[in-house]
Amino acid sequence: MAPTALVGGLVAAFVAVAQAQSGGSAMLRFGCSNIVIDRIDPLVDPGKIPSPHVHQIIGGDAFNATMPVGDISQIATCTSCTFEEDFSNYWTANVYFKARNGTYKRVPIMVNDAIGAANGGMTVYYSAPGKNTVTAFKPGFRMFSGDAKRRAPTNLGKATQSCFRCYDGPNFKGNVNSPCFDPVRDTEGFPTKPCLGGWRSSVLFPICWDGKNLDSPNHADHVAHPVGGPASFTSMGGKCPSTHPVKIPQIHLEIVWDTTKFNNKADWPADGSQPFVLSHGDTTGYGQHGDYVFGWKGDSLQKAMDNACFATNCKQLKSQTFPQANKCLVKTAVKENNDGWLDHLPGMEGM
Ligand SMILES: *[C@@H]1O[C@H](CO)[C@@H](O)[C@H](O)[C@H]1NC(C)=O
Ligand SMILES: *[C@@H]1O[C@H](CO)[C@@H](O)[C@H](O)[C@H]1NC(C)=O
Protein backbone atom coordinates (compact mmCIF):
# COMPACT_ATOMS: atom_id res chain seq x y z
CA MET A 1 0.00 0.00 0.00
CA ALA A 2 1.38 3.42 -0.93
CA PRO A 3 -0.91 5.88 0.79
CA THR A 4 0.95 8.95 -0.42
CA ALA A 5 -2.01 11.27 -0.41
CA LEU A 6 -3.18 10.12 2.99
CA VAL A 7 0.26 10.45 4.44
CA GLY A 8 0.56 13.90 2.88
CA GLY A 9 -2.63 15.04 4.58
CA LEU A 10 -1.91 13.26 7.83
CA VAL A 11 1.64 14.47 8.06
CA ALA A 12 0.64 18.06 7.26
CA ALA A 13 -1.91 17.91 10.06
CA PHE A 14 0.43 16.13 12.44
CA VAL A 15 3.22 18.63 11.85
CA ALA A 16 0.80 21.48 12.53
CA VAL A 17 -0.29 19.80 15.76
CA ALA A 18 3.28 19.13 16.75
CA GLN A 19 4.23 22.74 16.13
CA ALA A 20 1.32 23.98 18.22
CA GLN A 21 2.81 22.36 21.30
CA SER A 22 6.36 21.19 21.67
CA GLY A 23 6.69 17.44 21.39
CA GLY A 24 4.66 14.45 22.40
CA SER A 25 1.60 15.03 20.23
CA ALA A 26 -0.59 12.01 19.68
CA MET A 27 -2.88 11.11 16.80
CA LEU A 28 -4.51 7.72 16.70
CA ARG A 29 -6.04 6.85 13.33
CA PHE A 30 -7.80 3.51 12.98
CA GLY A 31 -10.69 1.79 11.25
CA CYS A 32 -13.89 0.38 12.72
CA SER A 33 -16.36 -1.69 10.70
CA ASN A 34 -20.12 -1.34 10.86
CA ILE A 35 -21.67 -3.34 13.68
CA VAL A 36 -25.16 -2.60 12.37
CA ILE A 37 -27.23 -0.19 10.27
CA ASP A 38 -30.39 0.42 12.28
CA ARG A 39 -33.06 2.89 13.34
CA ILE A 40 -32.15 3.28 17.02
CA ASP A 41 -30.34 6.13 18.81
CA PRO A 42 -29.48 5.60 22.50
CA LEU A 43 -28.20 9.19 22.84
CA VAL A 44 -30.89 11.38 21.28
CA ASP A 45 -33.87 8.96 21.38
CA PRO A 46 -33.12 6.43 24.13
CA GLY A 47 -35.53 3.51 24.23
CA LYS A 48 -37.27 4.41 20.96
CA ILE A 49 -37.59 1.45 18.59
CA PRO A 50 -37.68 2.75 15.90
CA SER A 51 -36.00 6.13 16.34
CA PRO A 52 -36.77 8.77 13.68
CA HIS A 53 -33.97 7.97 11.19
CA VAL A 54 -31.40 5.41 10.05
CA HIS A 55 -27.84 5.38 11.41
CA GLN A 56 -24.71 3.41 10.80
CA ILE A 57 -22.99 2.35 13.98
CA ILE A 58 -19.43 1.23 14.75
CA GLY A 59 -17.58 0.08 17.87
CA GLY A 60 -18.53 -2.23 20.72
CA ASP A 61 -21.43 -4.66 20.86
CA ALA A 62 -22.97 -3.05 23.97
CA PHE A 63 -24.76 -0.74 21.53
CA ASN A 64 -28.49 -0.84 22.23
CA ALA A 65 -31.63 1.32 22.09
CA THR A 66 -30.97 2.12 25.75
CA MET A 67 -27.42 2.14 27.10
CA PRO A 68 -26.64 2.44 30.80
CA VAL A 69 -24.61 5.46 31.91
CA GLY A 70 -21.55 3.62 33.12
CA ASP A 71 -18.61 1.58 31.96
CA ILE A 72 -19.84 -0.02 28.74
CA SER A 73 -16.43 -1.65 28.23
CA GLN A 74 -17.63 -4.02 30.99
CA ILE A 75 -20.80 -4.92 29.04
CA ALA A 76 -19.35 -5.23 25.54
CA THR A 77 -17.84 -8.55 24.52
CA CYS A 78 -16.26 -7.43 21.23
CA THR A 79 -15.49 -4.36 19.13
CA SER A 80 -15.42 -3.74 15.39
CA CYS A 81 -12.46 -1.36 15.85
CA THR A 82 -8.91 -2.52 15.30
CA PHE A 83 -7.83 -1.24 18.73
CA GLU A 84 -9.13 -3.94 21.05
CA GLU A 85 -9.56 -1.63 24.05
CA ASP A 86 -12.05 0.62 22.25
CA PHE A 87 -15.62 -0.46 23.06
CA SER A 88 -16.98 3.04 22.38
CA ASN A 89 -19.86 3.56 19.97
CA TYR A 90 -19.88 6.13 17.20
CA TRP A 91 -22.75 6.71 14.81
CA THR A 92 -23.84 9.06 12.05
CA ALA A 93 -26.72 9.46 9.62
CA ASN A 94 -26.52 7.58 6.32
CA VAL A 95 -26.43 9.15 2.88
CA TYR A 96 -29.12 8.24 0.35
CA PHE A 97 -29.36 9.02 -3.35
CA LYS A 98 -32.71 10.26 -4.66
CA ALA A 99 -33.13 9.37 -8.31
CA ARG A 100 -35.05 11.55 -10.75
CA ASN A 101 -37.97 9.09 -10.53
CA GLY A 102 -38.27 9.86 -6.81
CA THR A 103 -36.92 6.59 -5.36
CA TYR A 104 -34.05 6.35 -2.85
CA LYS A 105 -31.02 4.09 -2.56
CA ARG A 106 -28.54 3.99 0.30
CA VAL A 107 -25.04 5.08 -0.75
CA PRO A 108 -22.52 2.33 0.09
CA ILE A 109 -19.47 3.04 2.23
CA MET A 110 -15.99 2.58 0.82
CA VAL A 111 -13.02 1.69 2.94
CA ASN A 112 -10.82 4.71 3.62
CA ASP A 113 -7.24 5.16 2.43
CA ALA A 114 -4.67 3.00 4.28
CA ILE A 115 -7.25 1.39 6.55
CA GLY A 116 -7.41 -2.25 5.40
CA ALA A 117 -10.17 -4.82 5.04
CA ALA A 118 -12.90 -3.08 7.03
CA ASN A 119 -16.56 -3.84 6.40
CA GLY A 120 -17.80 -0.32 5.57
CA GLY A 121 -17.58 1.68 8.76
CA MET A 122 -15.56 4.74 9.60
CA THR A 123 -12.09 5.96 10.35
CA VAL A 124 -11.65 7.28 13.87
CA TYR A 125 -9.04 9.78 15.04
CA TYR A 126 -8.12 10.77 18.59
CA SER A 127 -5.59 13.60 18.93
CA ALA A 128 -3.79 15.40 21.69
CA PRO A 129 -1.43 18.37 21.25
CA GLY A 130 1.17 16.93 23.64
CA LYS A 131 1.90 14.70 26.59
CA ASN A 132 -0.37 15.37 29.60
CA THR A 133 -2.39 17.99 27.71
CA VAL A 134 -5.74 16.18 27.52
CA THR A 135 -7.96 14.38 30.03
CA ALA A 136 -9.49 11.22 28.60
CA PHE A 137 -13.27 10.80 28.92
CA LYS A 138 -14.82 9.15 31.99
CA PRO A 139 -17.07 6.06 31.86
CA GLY A 140 -20.60 7.21 31.02
CA PHE A 141 -19.40 10.18 28.96
CA ARG A 142 -21.31 10.84 25.75
CA MET A 143 -21.68 13.77 23.35
CA PHE A 144 -23.12 14.97 20.08
CA SER A 145 -21.39 17.01 17.38
CA GLY A 146 -23.12 19.14 14.77
CA ASP A 147 -26.71 20.27 14.45
CA ALA A 148 -29.13 17.91 12.72
CA LYS A 149 -31.51 20.83 12.07
CA ARG A 150 -28.93 23.05 10.36
CA ARG A 151 -29.63 23.74 6.69
CA ALA A 152 -27.29 26.70 6.11
CA PRO A 153 -23.52 27.19 6.39
CA THR A 154 -21.97 28.36 9.66
CA ASN A 155 -19.74 30.74 7.65
CA LEU A 156 -16.76 29.72 9.73
CA GLY A 157 -14.66 29.15 6.62
CA LYS A 158 -12.16 26.40 7.13
CA ALA A 159 -12.72 26.21 10.89
CA THR A 160 -15.72 23.97 10.46
CA GLN A 161 -16.73 20.92 12.47
CA SER A 162 -18.29 19.16 9.50
CA CYS A 163 -17.33 18.98 5.84
CA PHE A 164 -17.35 16.85 2.71
CA ARG A 165 -14.35 16.23 0.47
CA CYS A 166 -15.02 15.69 -3.23
CA TYR A 167 -12.34 13.36 -4.61
CA ASP A 168 -10.99 14.13 -8.11
CA GLY A 169 -10.84 10.46 -9.11
CA PRO A 170 -10.39 6.86 -7.94
CA ASN A 171 -8.04 6.02 -5.08
CA PHE A 172 -8.76 9.23 -3.14
CA LYS A 173 -7.30 11.42 -5.88
CA GLY A 174 -6.72 14.97 -4.71
CA ASN A 175 -6.48 14.01 -1.03
CA VAL A 176 -3.64 16.29 0.02
CA ASN A 177 -4.85 18.90 2.51
CA SER A 178 -5.96 18.29 6.09
CA PRO A 179 -9.65 17.48 6.49
CA CYS A 180 -11.91 20.54 5.96
CA PHE A 181 -8.87 22.60 4.86
CA ASP A 182 -9.00 22.13 1.10
CA PRO A 183 -10.36 25.37 -0.38
CA VAL A 184 -11.50 23.62 -3.58
CA ARG A 185 -12.45 20.05 -2.63
CA ASP A 186 -13.95 20.63 0.82
CA THR A 187 -17.41 22.07 1.34
CA GLU A 188 -19.54 22.42 4.43
CA GLY A 189 -22.63 21.30 2.50
CA PHE A 190 -22.89 18.43 0.03
CA PRO A 191 -20.75 18.67 -3.11
CA THR A 192 -22.96 20.08 -5.87
CA LYS A 193 -21.32 18.23 -8.81
CA PRO A 194 -20.64 14.52 -9.42
CA CYS A 195 -17.36 13.58 -7.66
CA LEU A 196 -15.31 11.16 -9.75
CA GLY A 197 -13.78 9.41 -6.73
CA GLY A 198 -16.73 9.64 -4.30
CA TRP A 199 -16.79 11.77 -1.16
CA ARG A 200 -15.50 11.72 2.37
CA SER A 201 -17.45 13.08 5.33
CA SER A 202 -15.55 14.59 8.26
CA VAL A 203 -17.19 15.11 11.65
CA LEU A 204 -15.01 16.81 14.29
CA PHE A 205 -16.09 16.75 17.94
CA PRO A 206 -15.53 19.57 20.46
CA ILE A 207 -12.29 19.49 22.47
CA CYS A 208 -13.24 21.35 25.66
CA TRP A 209 -15.26 19.91 28.58
CA ASP A 210 -16.90 21.49 31.64
CA GLY A 211 -15.03 18.96 33.78
CA LYS A 212 -18.21 17.85 35.58
CA ASN A 213 -21.05 16.54 33.44
CA LEU A 214 -20.94 13.25 31.56
CA ASP A 215 -23.83 14.47 29.39
CA SER A 216 -26.25 17.41 29.07
CA PRO A 217 -29.88 17.67 27.92
CA ASN A 218 -28.92 18.49 24.32
CA HIS A 219 -25.80 16.26 24.58
CA ALA A 220 -23.65 19.25 23.54
CA ASP A 221 -23.66 21.91 26.31
CA HIS A 222 -21.17 20.04 28.54
CA VAL A 223 -18.57 20.36 25.77
CA ALA A 224 -17.39 23.31 23.69
CA HIS A 225 -15.11 24.28 20.87
CA PRO A 226 -11.99 26.26 21.76
CA VAL A 227 -12.14 30.05 21.84
CA GLY A 228 -12.08 31.17 18.21
CA GLY A 229 -14.41 28.53 16.79
CA PRO A 230 -14.76 24.84 16.08
CA ALA A 231 -11.72 22.68 16.39
CA SER A 232 -9.75 21.31 13.54
CA PHE A 233 -6.52 19.39 13.36
CA THR A 234 -4.50 22.56 13.34
CA SER A 235 -6.26 24.18 16.29
CA MET A 236 -5.67 21.34 18.75
CA GLY A 237 -3.58 23.90 20.62
CA GLY A 238 -6.57 26.31 20.84
CA LYS A 239 -7.56 27.77 24.21
CA CYS A 240 -10.62 26.38 25.96
CA PRO A 241 -13.27 28.83 27.26
CA SER A 242 -13.39 29.39 31.06
CA THR A 243 -16.77 27.62 31.20
CA HIS A 244 -15.24 24.47 29.66
CA PRO A 245 -11.63 24.53 30.87
CA VAL A 246 -10.73 20.84 30.53
CA LYS A 247 -9.17 19.80 27.24
CA ILE A 248 -10.33 16.38 26.02
CA PRO A 249 -8.93 14.31 23.14
CA GLN A 250 -10.17 15.47 19.77
CA ILE A 251 -12.36 12.86 18.10
CA HIS A 252 -12.71 13.07 14.37
CA LEU A 253 -14.73 10.65 12.22
CA GLU A 254 -14.30 10.07 8.51
CA ILE A 255 -16.73 8.14 6.30
CA VAL A 256 -16.03 7.54 2.61
CA TRP A 257 -19.15 7.26 0.47
CA ASP A 258 -19.13 5.54 -2.91
CA THR A 259 -21.26 8.13 -4.66
CA THR A 260 -19.65 7.17 -8.00
CA LYS A 261 -22.47 4.68 -8.65
CA PHE A 262 -24.82 7.64 -8.78
CA ASN A 263 -22.91 10.01 -11.05
CA ASN A 264 -25.17 9.60 -14.08
CA LYS A 265 -26.58 13.09 -14.60
CA ALA A 266 -29.63 11.59 -16.36
CA ASP A 267 -30.71 10.29 -12.90
CA TRP A 268 -30.11 13.68 -11.21
CA PRO A 269 -32.92 16.21 -10.80
CA ALA A 270 -33.84 17.89 -14.09
CA ASP A 271 -32.91 21.30 -12.63
CA GLY A 272 -29.31 20.12 -12.09
CA SER A 273 -29.49 20.31 -8.27
CA GLN A 274 -27.60 17.66 -6.29
CA PRO A 275 -29.53 14.45 -5.52
CA PHE A 276 -28.13 13.29 -2.15
CA VAL A 277 -29.90 13.39 1.19
CA LEU A 278 -28.91 12.45 4.74
CA SER A 279 -31.14 9.83 6.36
CA HIS A 280 -32.74 12.48 8.60
CA GLY A 281 -34.09 14.28 5.53
CA ASP A 282 -31.36 16.91 5.09
CA THR A 283 -30.78 17.64 1.40
CA THR A 284 -28.09 20.26 2.14
CA GLY A 285 -25.45 18.32 4.12
CA TYR A 286 -25.15 21.18 6.66
CA GLY A 287 -27.03 19.00 9.15
CA GLN A 288 -24.36 16.28 9.20
CA HIS A 289 -23.83 15.15 12.80
CA GLY A 290 -22.14 12.50 14.90
CA ASP A 291 -22.90 10.73 18.18
CA TYR A 292 -20.40 9.34 20.66
CA VAL A 293 -20.60 7.10 23.71
CA PHE A 294 -17.21 6.64 25.37
CA GLY A 295 -16.19 3.05 26.04
CA TRP A 296 -12.40 2.65 26.21
CA LYS A 297 -11.23 0.10 28.72
CA GLY A 298 -9.58 1.45 31.89
CA ASP A 299 -7.00 4.16 31.25
CA SER A 300 -6.02 2.84 27.80
CA LEU A 301 -7.05 6.01 25.93
CA GLN A 302 -5.22 8.26 28.40
CA LYS A 303 -2.07 6.19 27.94
CA ALA A 304 -2.33 6.37 24.15
CA MET A 305 -2.74 10.18 24.31
CA ASP A 306 0.21 10.59 26.69
CA ASN A 307 2.62 8.40 24.75
CA ALA A 308 2.65 10.08 21.33
CA CYS A 309 0.81 7.23 19.63
CA PHE A 310 0.52 7.86 15.90
CA ALA A 311 -1.96 6.26 13.47
CA THR A 312 -2.04 2.54 14.39
CA ASN A 313 1.38 2.62 16.04
CA CYS A 314 0.81 2.44 19.76
CA LYS A 315 2.75 0.17 22.08
CA GLN A 316 0.25 0.89 24.86
CA LEU A 317 -2.69 -0.63 22.93
CA LYS A 318 -3.55 -4.07 21.56
CA SER A 319 -4.65 -4.49 17.96
CA GLN A 320 -6.86 -7.04 16.25
CA THR A 321 -7.10 -7.78 12.52
CA PHE A 322 -10.13 -6.85 10.42
CA PRO A 323 -11.20 -10.47 9.95
CA GLN A 324 -11.52 -10.53 13.77
CA ALA A 325 -13.06 -7.05 14.09
CA ASN A 326 -15.60 -7.77 11.33
CA LYS A 327 -17.06 -10.62 13.39
CA CYS A 328 -18.32 -8.14 15.96
CA LEU A 329 -21.93 -7.46 14.98
CA VAL A 330 -25.11 -6.32 16.68
CA LYS A 331 -28.57 -7.67 15.79
CA THR A 332 -30.86 -5.27 13.98
CA ALA A 333 -33.58 -3.98 16.31
CA VAL A 334 -35.84 -2.56 13.59
CA LYS A 335 -36.61 -5.02 10.84
CA GLU A 336 -37.17 -2.89 7.77
CA ASN A 337 -35.69 -2.42 4.35
CA ASN A 338 -33.06 0.29 4.45
CA ASP A 339 -31.41 -0.86 1.24
CA GLY A 340 -32.76 -1.47 -2.26
CA TRP A 341 -34.79 1.19 -4.07
CA LEU A 342 -37.17 2.73 -1.54
CA ASP A 343 -40.13 4.99 -2.14
CA HIS A 344 -39.31 7.00 1.01
CA LEU A 345 -36.48 7.31 3.51
CA PRO A 346 -37.01 4.93 6.46
CA GLY A 347 -38.99 6.87 9.08
CA MET A 348 -39.61 9.78 6.68
CA GLU A 349 -42.94 8.90 5.11
CA GLY A 350 -43.37 12.47 3.90
CA MET A 351 -40.15 12.51 1.85
C1 LIG B 1 -30.41 -4.59 24.73
O2 LIG B 1 -31.55 -4.27 25.48
C3 LIG B 1 -32.48 -5.34 25.59
C4 LIG B 1 -33.72 -4.81 26.29
O5 LIG B 1 -33.39 -4.09 27.44
C6 LIG B 1 -31.84 -6.51 26.34
O7 LIG B 1 -32.72 -7.59 26.41
C8 LIG B 1 -30.56 -6.91 25.59
O9 LIG B 1 -29.88 -7.91 26.30
C10 LIG B 1 -29.65 -5.72 25.40
N11 LIG B 1 -28.51 -6.12 24.57
C12 LIG B 1 -27.25 -5.83 24.90
C13 LIG B 1 -26.22 -6.25 23.92
O14 LIG B 1 -26.96 -5.23 25.91
C1 LIG C 1 -35.80 4.71 -10.50
O2 LIG C 1 -34.54 5.05 -11.02
C3 LIG C 1 -33.45 4.19 -10.68
C4 LIG C 1 -32.18 4.81 -11.24
O5 LIG C 1 -32.26 4.98 -12.60
C6 LIG C 1 -33.76 2.80 -11.19
O7 LIG C 1 -32.69 1.92 -10.86
C8 LIG C 1 -35.04 2.34 -10.54
O9 LIG C 1 -35.36 1.04 -11.02
C10 LIG C 1 -36.16 3.29 -10.85
N11 LIG C 1 -37.34 2.88 -10.11
C12 LIG C 1 -38.58 2.95 -10.61
C13 LIG C 1 -39.67 2.51 -9.71
O14 LIG C 1 -38.79 3.34 -11.74
Of residues 146, 67, 98, the one with CA closest to residue 342: 98
Read off the pLDDT of residues 302-347 as tens digits, 9 standing for 90 and up. Answer: 999 999 999 999 999 999 999 999 999 999 999 988 788 999 999 9
Phi, psi dihedral angles at 262 (to 5 degrees): -120, 30
Q: Is the pLDDT of residue 82 over 50?
A: yes
Quote the CA–CA distance of 293 and 333 in Å, as a whole number: 19
Please count the residues of the chain: 351
Position 334 in a domain: no
Q: Is the pLDDT of residue 3 over 80?
A: no
> Residues 257, 107: contact at Cβ < 8 Å?
yes
Quote the CA–CA distance of 163 and 82 in Å, as a whole number: 25
The mean pLDDT value of the chain amounts to: 90
Q: What is the rounded average pLDDT of the residues 79-94?
A: 98
Position 68 in a domain: yes
Helix, strand, or coil here: 259?
helix
Q: Is the pLDDT of residue 8 over 60?
A: no
Position 268 in a domain: yes
Distance of CA 64 from the midpoint of ligand 1 (Å): 6
Position 308 in a domain: yes
Position 330 in a domain: no
Relative to the CA of 62, which ligand 1 atom is closest?
Answer: 13
Helix (H) or strand (E) holding 36: strand 34-38
Position 141 in a domain: yes
Position 27 in a domain: yes
> Any idea what DSSP says for residue 108?
P
How many domains are contained in the chain? 1
> Any idea what DSSP says for residue 92?
E
Position 203 in a domain: yes
Q: Is the pLDDT of residue 297 over 70?
A: yes
- Neighbouring residues of 35: CB distance < 8 A, sequence distance ≥ 6: 57, 58, 59, 60, 61, 63, 80, 328, 329, 330
Alpha carbon separation from 269 to 197, 258, 261 (Å, rounded): 21, 19, 16
pTM: 0.93
Quote the CA–CA distance of 312 and 110 in Å, as a whole number: 19
> Which protein residue has the closest C-alpha to ligand 1 atom 11?
64
Helix, strand, or coil here: 60?
strand
pLDDT at 340: 87
Paired sense of beta strands 26-32 and 122-128, if any = antiparallel
pLDDT at 2: 34
Report residues whose beta carbon is within 6 angstroms of any ligand 2 atom. Answer: 99, 101, 103, 267, 341
Read off the pLDDT of residues 13-34 as tens digits, 9 standing for 90 and up. Answer: 544 444 444 478 999 999 999 9
> Residues 85, 297: contact at Cβ < 8 Å?
yes
**Domain residue limits at 98:** 4-325
Distance of CA 222 from the midpoint of ligand 1 (Å): 28
> Residues 98, 300: contact at Cβ < 8 Å?
no
Tell me if 25 CB under 6 Å of ligand 1.
no
